[in-house]
Amino acid sequence: MSRLRQLCWWPLTGRAARAYVAGPLLSDALDVCRGLARAGLGSTIGFWNGHDAMPRHVADAQLAGLERLARETWDCHLSLKAPPLTYSRTLLGEIVDWAWRARARLHFDSHSPDTVEPTFALIDEYHGLSSLGCTLPGRWSRSPGDAERVVRLGLRVRVVKGQWADPDGPEPDARAGFLAVVNRLAGRARHVAVATHDAPLAREALHRLRSAGTSCELELLLGLPVREATEVARAIGVGIRCYVPYGQPSLPYRVADAGRNPWIAWWMARDLVLGGAAARHWATTCARSMMPART
């Protein structure tokens, strides 16, 4: 029965997930980023691979992204995940070398908790060769300690609530954990991206960072509502960056949570109706939200 339910849900979740990718191709992501740049917004592109993708194919996608970004003048960098590369130092060495020669920024996305140490091992090896960053999830009890590593290595950091559960015990409240990481970074980190669509949380996190004199910005994910969060960034006077995935669609929320979270239920219904059309209209909506208010 469990297998049957999965087979029934797969086409529906696949359609809903298309709301969160620019399209299957690198050019789809770059088209979205180009439109965001015209509105004065930064961006980051991320290749979302399928489960059966070979590491060489994933690395080639990253290299193609760096090569295309090197031709552009707008503010965009590359995000990648270490597990699909099987933590290969050979493959990552190619990517880091290309980024170093192109003076491009690379950012390591967050993955499951068991990937943290091998990912940091790669960062430890290569952080001196390129401008690297990493992501810290607020829901993990280990993240405040990892924030100390980020500061010591001089990395840029993205703070998120987090998708994967903490295996080390009871999790902190999502907002409290997020702010605990921000507190460790405030006044010490090189640059912090506050990655949340939770407007009150974004306001508090950005205020703490700005008060400590820390370079910071708001980061948003393609497909999720942006109006309230962008209003916060405009009021505080910080920049906005948009994460634009391409490749294999994936939901940024768990369908199982829809029963107890009305917002997820609403997003799921919207995504099922609109599918990829939601992503096509998202950049326009985000850009319009940054237009000066009429007086």
In the predicted structure, residue 77 carries a pLDDT above the cut 50: yes
Query: d(Cα 51, Cα 73) in Å, to the nearest integer?
Result: 33
Q: Pick the residue with more confidence: 248 or 108?
A: 108
In the predicted structure, residue 266 carries a pLDDT above the cut 70: no
User: What's the pTM value of the predicted model, to 2 decimals?
Assistant: 0.85
Q: Pick the residue with more confidence: 189 or 170?
A: 189
In the predicted structure, residue 6 carries a pLDDT above the cut 60: no
Give the residue-averaged pLDDT of 271-288: 60
Q: Pick the residue with more confidence: 275 or 294?
A: 275
Q: In which region does residue 169 sit, left (phi positive, over 0), alpha (psi from -120 to 50) or beta (all else)?
A: left
Q: In which region does residue 77 sit, left (phi positive, over 0), alpha (psi from -120 to 50) or beta (all else)?
A: beta
Query: d(Cα 89, Cα 125) in Å, to the nearest integer?
Result: 9
The radius of gyration of the chain's CA atoms, rounded to the nearest angstrom, is 18
Choose the CATH number for 21-249+258-289 among 3.20.20.220, 3.40.50.2000, 3.40.50.300, 3.10.350.10. 3.20.20.220
Give the residue-averaged pLDDT of 228-250: 91
In the predicted structure, residue 293 carries a pLDDT above the cut 60: no
Q: What is the largest CA-CA distance in the chain?
A: 59
* Percent of the chain's residues with pLDDT above 70: 77
Q: Where are the domains of the chain?
A: 21-249+258-289
